[in-house]
Structure 1
Amino acid sequence: MTYDLKTAHAPRMTGLALEAAALALENPATGHLIGQKLLKDLGILDLRVTALHEAPSVAPDLPRPASLTAQAAPPPDLDALARLAPKTTGFAFESAADFVAAYREGRSDPVKVAERFLEAAQRLDGGERPLRVFIERNADRLLAAARESRERYRSGAPRGPLDGVPVSIKDELDVEGYHTTVGTRIFRDRAGEDATTVRRLREAGALILGKVNMHEIGIDTSGFNAHHGTPTNPYAPGHYTGGSSSGSGASVAAGFCPISLGADGGGSIRIPAALCGVVGLKATWSRISEHGAFPLCASVGHVGPLGATVRDVALAYALIAGPDPRDPNSLHQPPPHLEGLGRDDLEGVRIGVYRPWFEHATPEIVRAAEGALDIFRARGARVVEVEIPELDRARVAQGITILCEMASCMARYDAEHRRSFSLGVRINLAIGRALTGVDYVQSQKVRARFSRHLARVFEAVDVLVTPTTALTAPRIAEDVLPRGESNLDVTSGLMRFVFPANLTGNPAISVPGGYGASGHPIGIQLMGRPWEEHLLLRMGEVLERAVPRRAPSIHVRLLDGA
């Protein structure tokens, strides 16, 4: 089999060139010709005329409970999980368990934590290189919730396993009383209720810090935002965080919170997790409710947690996963569980590696990924060489799907607000509008076809291991600000390993796997069978225990005030 995954190429554009490209694509007289050239370069025109005999699958075709063996694993004990500190080496982030222990033992309280957060957030958003993590904070709301949490601890009746634990929320999700901007300047609706995932965290006692930044409408992977400022990477100031859940990754890495909620339509949880040196889980499609999430890309989108450690992500996942009557797609799923979490052996686990794909990254990232395989082998896992056909066709199909769905979502705002979006967003939406119904249907045929390819691979292995990204955090060049850039080479490198899980709906996690020569974090991706998040979390914790963590350059300690 020939490895076919291509690196997409196009001239990098900033400033006036970027503006000229956006205007030309939006102009009926020139847009068609330029658009057709772009569609050809991206492989879309070839797919348009490819003979595909599969029936289209307009959402991931997942095995449902009737076809699954009964789940014998017990539901997780979330209170116990919240009290069990993660076992990591090197630099220790403040975990959810650390906050709970400090409150129970009287060493700190939620009000002190909230006050330290407010001071640190204001300080780090000032100065020469502002962090730009938060879009909206509300000190009065936060302090009121913190005081209520403090009183619950004083009375010996905490609300749940996250009582008083600080959590941030991507601005793609509704939080009651806060605006949902989706990273734009055109949406300013104030949410009247929480998204289901936010509500479930709040019911567990979580202290909602506010809304965090994101790549505008989630339509690219760098984290650039012309309206709310571009977050800088706490591990690599002056470099991108990755996107689109940029503020989620940066808020955890900066120490503001051990858990953040993000969303992932094409790697948007896993990419910032990798670049910011934290953990990010995209669960099985429909495992976690989408109610209250802005409907950007329904068939490839996933709400999910980022966290300081695998244990933090596991705790958040266990709280937010499961059926929700307000999201019909979520209703038919096996019960979420965390079987095996904490076990250090991987005896009997089969790890699949598609060698040409695995090695399609910078040398230092490939070395880190090989190191992860060595760790898994030492714990009893067996590495199996596999082949995955038609990766490039899947890349094109995923790109068409997300662009079509986002262009459809934004269509009703186009006439009035087209030029309110930043230049890169305008270019991507113009490409989305240039796509046809034929392109979308062809992509859904590829989804059905590629899902079968991947299912056959998972008959031979339990988990696929790759790097998360093909490069570490790119530099925010001087010519990027304030208008942004179009850099297809970087986008292609950031998405190289993440897109299949969005197209097929398989779960995937990014776990820190080391650091490059520059000290920038490297992520390792584990992808599994539908509904088997527990195995990814178990393996992620094995890796986490063996790979020493380093302190970010920008980091605060909310419990001790450092």
Structure 2
Amino acid sequence: MTYQRNPVKAPRVSGMALKAFVNTLESSVGSVVLEKLVRDSGIEQWRELPADDAPPVQLPLPHGAPGAEAQSPGEQAARAIAATPVPKERETVSSFARAYREGGVDPVTVVRRIHEAIERLDSGKDRLGLFVARKPDEVLRAAEASAERLRAGRPLSVLDGVPVVLKDEVDLAGFPTTLGTKFRNQPVAADSTVAARLKAAGALILGKANMNEIGINPIGLNPHHGAARNPWNRGRITGGSSSGSGAVVAAGLCPLSIGADGGGSIRIPAALCGVVGLKATWGRIPETGVPPLCWNVAHVGPLGLTVDDVAAAYALLAGPDGHDIVAQSQPPHHLSGYEDGNLSGVRLGICWPYFEDADADVVARCKESVRALTDAGARVVEIPAPDLNTILWTHSCIILSEMAEAMLAHVKTRSADFGLDSRTNLAIGRHFRATDLVHALRHRHKLTRELLALMKDVDVLVTPTTATTAPVIPEATLPHGESNLPVVDALMRFVRLANLTGFPSLSLPAGFDREGLPVGVQLTGRPYEEHLLLRLGRVVERAAEVRTPPIHVTALR
């Protein structure tokens, strides 16, 4: 198949024009407008595309080879952060553990410094828009308990006393899980599995991070909580929907955060903010306590300053919890071979026309990442071009249909509670036919089967994470933002397939463009082979240039 990407024809719309457009979509003539919109965007070609014998049920993902050794999650996390010394100026999980062990600082001092930094960065007219909710006194009490454990030589894990932030899509007892909306204001009674595991590890949860409303857009502009701004340049977007989760790590407020990814929502902000983000295999990290928005493509996972940080979080968070059905039938997670920098025998699958369909600086930096991998012994295998139109419509139909269903009760009573971009996408989701959704689910199965076949000949797929670095925030359109589908396409071009198939995918920094903005490279692997992605990620990381963003704080000194 020859590589082809259909151009995005939708105009850029904001302000009164966008409001009028949304009102039209929600009116009695909306279905006519919506049908023209999706037809002009290429849906008819997709509707006619045969799904062969694929049923509308996801293909069970194969388990692959087991790990070479059995270790507890805590042991694996400790192994991850001990794998490579980290420069002292980078405040990683390892840096926190070392500082606490050596007695130079304690969690109470760290938390007080961070609270002061948050007050400075996230208030007033120049706020970064990072947090939607915090309880500093509770965090301070948790820090005091952590300090006592550390003084007694009884830390709960390598994360004891380490600050962490949760996306406001993940339940944290005593806090509302707003999903970036203005109407989900009731505090939840119980922790999500992710929050509970972090607390059990001694992590200090600083609060809930800003996000794109209901995670429906990859930009990161929230009409209710404000625009999340990028620490590399506050006039640039962070990407979304885990917008605050990417920015807090880049700004130095914590070495780890938690995001959620239904269509690149961990990997996109990781790329634009210059941090590491892991979307693990579907169900690898339990979704219990994460309100359902898009059942078939959703993932929750870590963002971190370094690959070691993300590996440590993955080790502690992955594994069945007895509640999440998808998480129940999977092999034990492990980090086998994690420290091995010799990549002899590793095959990198690359479709060069697809890889190069990005800004010149992005392509150049990502090619340098490929060179780092081949210098370590890996070899490139050229692979066929993806069918981007099929991937686009299959993913769009599933995620928007499911989000429309998840929000339907509220849309029926108070649709004006949503921002204009959310209302646009929810209207499209309601417009899809039942036959469209079944067709999409069949193609999801077919795409998964095809990708499994392709990856018999390669071990990892390599692409840029996004086709562009962080775009400019359209200040004149705030707080409501705009509809800008060419930007959305540039951010999502490389990320959709991993959500559709459930394969694991890792974004990590590859360097910088000529304006000093971070570039992300993406590695996608076979199901349950996160350990291989993390192993390759460490090789890329060691070769990439490291800088500190202009907006940055330190907590350990």
TM range (shorter): over 0.9
- The answer for the alignment partner of 1:12 in structure 2 is 12
- From 355, 359, 364, give the equivalent of 1:358: 355
Structure 1 residue 86: Cα displacement:
4.5
The reply on whether 1:225 has 2:226 as its aligned counterpart is no
Distance 1:17 1:60, change over 3 A: farther
Structure 1 residue 105: Cα displacement:
1.2
- The answer for the alignment partner of 1:80 in structure 2 is 78
- From 210, 214, 222, give the equivalent of 1:213: 210
Distance 1:60 1:242, change over 3 A: farther
Q: For 1:419 and 1:385, how far apart are their aligned partners in 2?
A: 49
SS in 1 for 2:237: coil
- The answer for the alignment partner of 2:171 in structure 1 is 174
The reply on whether 1:322 has 2:326 as its aligned counterpart is no
Distance 1:85 1:21, change over 3 A: same
Structure 1 residue 453: Cα displacement:
1.9
Q: Deviations over 1:485-525 (max 9, x none)?
A: 10000000000000000000100000100000000000000
The one-letter code matched in structure 1 to 2:156 is R
Q: TM-score, normalised by structure 2?
A: 0.97
SS in 1 for 2:456: helix
Whether the 8 Å contact between 1:94 and 1:258 is mirrored in structure 2 is yes
Whether the 8 Å contact between 2:54 and 2:443 is mirrored in structure 1 is no
Whether the 8 Å contact between 1:59 and 1:300 is mirrored in structure 2 is no
SS in 2 for 1:74: coil
- The answer for the alignment partner of 2:305 in structure 1 is 308
The reply on whether 1:279 has 2:294 as its aligned counterpart is no
SS in 2 for 1:428: helix
Q: Deviations over 1:431-468 (max 9, x none)?
A: 00101111101111111211122112101100000000
Distance 1:557 1:272, change over 3 A: same
- The answer for the alignment partner of 2:120 in structure 1 is 123
- The answer for the alignment partner of 2:34 in structure 1 is 35
SS in 2 for 1:239: strand
The one-letter code matched in structure 2 to 1:46 is Q
SS in 2 for 1:211: strand
The one-letter code matched in structure 2 to 1:10 is A
Whether the 8 Å contact between 1:296 and 1:409 is mirrored in structure 2 is yes
Structure 1 residue 61: Cα displacement:
3.4
Q: For 1:54 and 1:136, how far apart are their aligned partners in 2?
A: 48
Whether the 8 Å contact between 2:220 and 2:243 is mirrored in structure 1 is yes
Q: For 2:59 and 2:256, how far apart are their aligned partners in 1?
A: 27
Q: For 1:528 and 1:265, how far apart are their aligned partners in 2?
A: 17
Q: For 2:467 and 2:259, how far apart are their aligned partners in 1?
A: 21
- From 469, 480, 492, give the equivalent of 1:495: 492
Q: For 1:275 and 1:87, how far apart are their aligned partners in 2?
A: 26
Gaps of 5+ in 2: none
The one-letter code matched in structure 1 to 2:54 is A
Which aligned runs of 4 or more in structure 1 are off by greater than 4 angstroms? 85-89
Q: For 2:161 and 2:92, how far apart are their aligned partners in 1?
A: 12
- The answer for the alignment partner of 2:52 in structure 1 is 53
Distance 1:83 1:493, change over 3 A: closer
1:504-543 aligned at under 5 Å gives the runs 504-543=501-540
- The answer for the alignment partner of 1:468 in structure 2 is 465
The one-letter code matched in structure 1 to 2:159 is L
Q: For 1:79 and 1:10, how far apart are their aligned partners in 2?
A: 46
SS in 1 for 2:199: helix
The one-letter code matched in structure 2 to 1:14 is S
CA RMSD of aligned residues (A): 1.5
Q: For 2:287 and 2:183, how far apart are their aligned partners in 1?
A: 22
Whether the 8 Å contact between 1:215 and 1:221 is mirrored in structure 2 is yes
1:104-115 aligned at under 5 Å gives the runs 104-115=101-112
Which deviates the most, 480-489 or 300-309?
A: 480-489
Structure 1 residue 70: Cα displacement:
4.1
Distance 1:209 1:59, change over 3 A: farther
Whether the 8 Å contact between 1:75 and 1:338 is mirrored in structure 2 is no
SS in 2 for 1:209: strand
1:246-285 aligned at under 5 Å gives the runs 246-285=243-282
Structure 1 residue 289: Cα displacement:
0.2
Q: For 1:477 and 1:485, how far apart are their aligned partners in 2?
A: 8
The one-letter code matched in structure 1 to 2:42 is G
Whether the 8 Å contact between 1:266 and 1:499 is mirrored in structure 2 is yes
Structure 1 residue 554: Cα displacement:
0.6
Q: Deviations over 1:216-245 (max 9, x none)?
A: 000000001010011100012110000000
1:366-515 aligned at under 5 Å gives the runs 366-515=363-512
The one-letter code matched in structure 2 to 1:485 is E
Q: For 1:345 and 1:308, how far apart are their aligned partners in 2?
A: 23
The one-letter code matched in structure 1 to 2:45 is D
Q: For 2:150 and 2:227, how far apart are their aligned partners in 1?
A: 38
The reply on whether 1:3 has 2:17 as its aligned counterpart is no
SS in 2 for 1:460: coil
The one-letter code matched in structure 2 to 1:47 is W
Q: TM-score, normalised by structure 1?
A: 0.96
Q: Deviations over 1:91-119 (max 9, x none)?
A: 94310111111111111111111111111
The one-letter code matched in structure 1 to 2:258 is L
The one-letter code matched in structure 2 to 1:80 is A
Structure 1 residue 194: Cα displacement:
0.8
Q: Deviations over 1:113-164 (max 9, x none)?
A: 1111111101111344211101000011111101111111112211222100
Q: For 1:384 and 1:98, how far apart are their aligned partners in 2?
A: 38
Which deviates the most, 510-519 or 478-487?
A: 478-487
Which deviates the most, 474-483 or 495-504?
A: 474-483
- From 72, 92, 97, give the equivalent of 1:100: 97
- The answer for the alignment partner of 1:289 in structure 2 is 286
The one-letter code matched in structure 2 to 1:408 is E
Whether the 8 Å contact between 2:344 and 2:376 is mirrored in structure 1 is yes
The reply on whether 1:552 has 2:549 as its aligned counterpart is yes
SS in 1 for 2:234: coil
Structure 1 residue 189: Cα displacement:
2.2
Structure 1 residue 172: Cα displacement:
0.2
Q: For 1:406 and 1:45, how far apart are their aligned partners in 2?
A: 22
Which deviates the most, 55-64 or 34-43?
A: 55-64
Q: For 1:219 and 1:42, how far apart are their aligned partners in 2?
A: 19
- From 337, 341, 347, give the equivalent of 1:340: 337
The one-letter code matched in structure 1 to 2:277 is G
Whether the 8 Å contact between 1:60 and 1:285 is mirrored in structure 2 is no
Q: For 2:41 and 2:284, how far apart are their aligned partners in 1?
A: 31
Structure 1 residue 191: Cα displacement:
1.4
Structure 1 residue 411: Cα displacement:
0.7
The one-letter code matched in structure 2 to 1:254 is A
Whether the 8 Å contact between 1:56 and 1:442 is mirrored in structure 2 is no
Whether the 8 Å contact between 2:81 and 2:308 is mirrored in structure 1 is no
Which deviates the most, 511-520 or 96-105?
A: 96-105
Whether the 8 Å contact between 2:142 and 2:204 is mirrored in structure 1 is yes
Q: For 1:389 and 1:80, how far apart are their aligned partners in 2?
A: 38
Q: For 1:59 and 1:202, how far apart are their aligned partners in 2?
A: 33
Identity %: 50
Q: For 1:437 and 1:346, how far apart are their aligned partners in 2?
A: 46
Residue correspondences, number: 555
Distance 1:7 1:284, change over 3 A: farther
Q: For 1:87 and 1:484, how far apart are their aligned partners in 2?
A: 43
Q: For 2:384 and 2:443, how far apart are their aligned partners in 1?
A: 17
